[in-house]
Amino acid sequence: MKAAVFHAARDIRVEDVPAPTGVGPREVLVRPSWCGICGTDLHEYAMGPIVTPAAPHPLNGSVIPQILGHEFSAEVIEVGREVTRVRAGDRISAMPLLVDHECYYCRRGLDHLCMKMACVGLSYAWGGIAELAVLPERILTVLPDEVSDLQGALVEPSAVAAYGVDAGCVKPGDSVLITGAGPIGALAALYAALLGARVFVSEPNPARRALIRSLGVAEVLDPSTTDVAAWLKDLLHGVGVDAVIECSGNERALQTALASVRSAGRVVQTGLHTRPASIDAMLLAQRDIALIGTWCYPVTDFPRIAGLIASGRFPVEKIVTAKIAIDHIIERGFDALLSPAGDQVKVLVNARG
Ligand SMILES: NC(=O)c1ccc[n+]([C@@H]2O[C@H](COP(=O)([O-])OP(=O)(O)OC[C@H]3O[C@@H](n4cnc5c(N)ncnc54)[C@H](O)[C@@H]3O)[C@@H](O)[C@H]2O)c1
Ligand SMILES: [Zn+2]
């Protein structure tokens, strides 16, 4: 079968790999529909292996070369004999986190912090950018009829964004700044708006600002020409926003976040900083600011996110800027997303050809 396989930095190949030969009792054979390329995939491509295992993974022994793809929807083809929750023909979204169920965190219901965490499409035998994959039944969410295959591929990044906004304790009527309008920031803007917040998004890239404007849910600021914190204070009683969801992993954006939030407000660090960032920590104490990090999402959140999409109030498909076939994944996927002048935000790949 055809799959997009990570071998090394700048070496992702669309190649023929052996198809799965069967399923275990609690496993399911699926045919992926759409699969998103995410920032983690881009990092692997640019300078991996980082998350993909160069040595056998402690949870499941997986090792590169690795079939990519962890944001995907799929159709169920075959189920193992003990599978009860899904059947052939169901459309599903896969929650890709794989955990040991026995470490300190798993025993406390914090599976997303599992000490041996692996991930479908990053550290597992199969991935979503392939014609077929074998998955454990327990990670599958059956998609309601109202949720398209394309939307189903966006449940995973939507769960990341929603967890960030939820960590900000955003309530109806709150004002929220989102720094960074990549896929995560754009989805956070949609989600904060559906919660009833007044949403502001700061983003230096003009194409991405235009995408946010087209969503119609947020006021959009350019941090390279506007003093975002001063502008928000001017507008909002001289105090700033109730919460900031930092979705860029950029040091200046985090500083802007701390300067823009009101006293006793919350700053959520969802973006990943690839090097240490310097902040004025005095602000946290002086102004009662809570600075909170989020990692992935609660592993149980996919059915809720799929339900929100089904309701029509969470139009996640609007952030998709390209749908491509697997054969074009390098030029139209990875290279297009990594190009500094590029205007792509979310690229979805179809391995069915
Ligand atoms: N916490 C998690 O579990 C988790 C999961 C997925 C992704 N992430 C991280 O979330 C972040 C967002 O993901 P993404 O895929 O949307 O990334 P992305 O790189 O596509 O988007 C980041 C955006 O931030 C913008 N930006 C840069 N400097 C800025 C500034 N000073 N102010 C405002 N915006 C600025 C960039 O122009 C870019 O559009 C990344 O850091 C990613 O690694 C975290
Ligand atoms: Zn664990």
What does the pLDDT look like over 180-236, one tens digit per residue? 999 999 999 999 999 999 999 999 999 999 999 999 999 999 999 999 999 999 999
Same domain? For 323 and 216 the reply is no
Q: Name the token pair of 198.
A: 């007044």
CATH of the domain at 232: 3.40.50.720
Distance 247 CA to ligand 1 centre (A): 5
Instruction: Specify if 149 maps to a domain.
Output: no
Q: Whose CA is nearest to atom 23 of ligand 1?
A: 180
- pLDDT for 351: 87
What does the pLDDT look like over 181-196, one tens digit per residue? 999 999 999 999 999 9
- pLDDT for 342: 85
Instruction: Specify if 153 maps to a domain.
Output: no
For the stretch 107-114, contacts whose Cβ atoms lie closer than 8 Å and that sit 24 or more positions apart, written own/partner, are 111/298, 111/299, 112/295, 112/296, 112/297, 112/298, 112/299, 113/295
Pocket test for ligand 1, best of 248, 269, 338 (most atoms within 8 A of CB): 248
Distance 323 CA to ligand 1 centre (A): 21
Instruction: Specify if 151 maps to a domain.
Output: no
From residue 261, how far is each of 24, 115, 291 by CA, in Å?
50, 33, 11
Same domain? For 116 and 10 the reply is yes
Instruction: Specify if 154 maps to a domain.
Output: no
User: CA-CA distance, 46 to 41, in Å (whole number)?
Assistant: 9
Same domain? For 289 and 327 the reply is no
Residues with CB under 6 A from ligand 1: 39, 160, 179-185, 202-205, 208, 223, 247-250, 252-253, 270-272, 294-296
Same domain? For 203 and 270 the reply is yes
* Domain count within the chain: 2
Same domain? For 175 and 94 the reply is no
What does the pLDDT look like over 137-185, one tens digit per residue? 999 999 999 999 999 999 999 999 999 999 999 999 999 999 999 999 9
- pLDDT for 340: 85
Same domain? For 246 and 331 the reply is no
Q: Whose CA is nearest to atom 41 of ligand 1?
A: 271
Q: Whose CA is nearest to atom 18 of ligand 1?
A: 182
Inform me whether the pLDDT recorded for 125 exceeds 70: yes
- Please provide the distance, in angstroms rounded to a whole number, between the alpha carbons at the two ends of the chain: 11
Inform me whether the pLDDT recorded for 304 exceeds 70: yes
Average pLDDT over residues 97-110: 98
Same domain? For 133 and 164 the reply is no
94 versus 340: which is more confidently predicted?
A: 94
What does the pLDDT look like over 266-279, one tens digit per residue? 999 999 999 999 99
Instruction: Specify if 180 maps to a domain.
Output: yes
Instruction: Specify if 150 maps to a domain.
Output: no
Region at 58 (left for phi over 0; alpha for psi -120 to 50; beta for the rest) = alpha
Instruction: Specify if 270 maps to a domain.
Output: yes
Pocket test for ligand 1, best of 70, 156, 208, 250 (most atoms within 8 A of CB): 250
Read out DSSP for 39-93?
HHHHHHHHH--SSS-SS--TTT---SSEE---SEEEEEEEE-TT--S--TT-EEE
Same domain? For 286 and 321 the reply is no
User: CA-CA distance, 96 to 13, in Å (whole number)?
Assistant: 22
CATH of the domain at 58: 3.90.180.10
Same domain? For 181 and 280 the reply is yes
Distance 183 CA to ligand 1 centre (A): 8
Distance 75 CA to ligand 1 centre (A): 30
Average pLDDT over residues 44-70: 98
User: CA-CA distance, 146 to 194, in Å (whole number)?
Assistant: 18
Same domain? For 181 and 275 the reply is yes
Domain that residue 67 falls in: 2-142+315-350
Instruction: Indicate the average pLDDT of the chain.
Output: 97
| Banded model confidence at residue 353, pLDDT cuts 50, 70, 90 | low
Average pLDDT over residues 93-116: 98
Pocket test for ligand 1, best of 191, 228, 247 (most atoms within 8 A of CB): 247
Instruction: Specify if 152 maps to a domain.
Output: no
Inform me whether the pLDDT recorded for 344 exceeds 70: yes
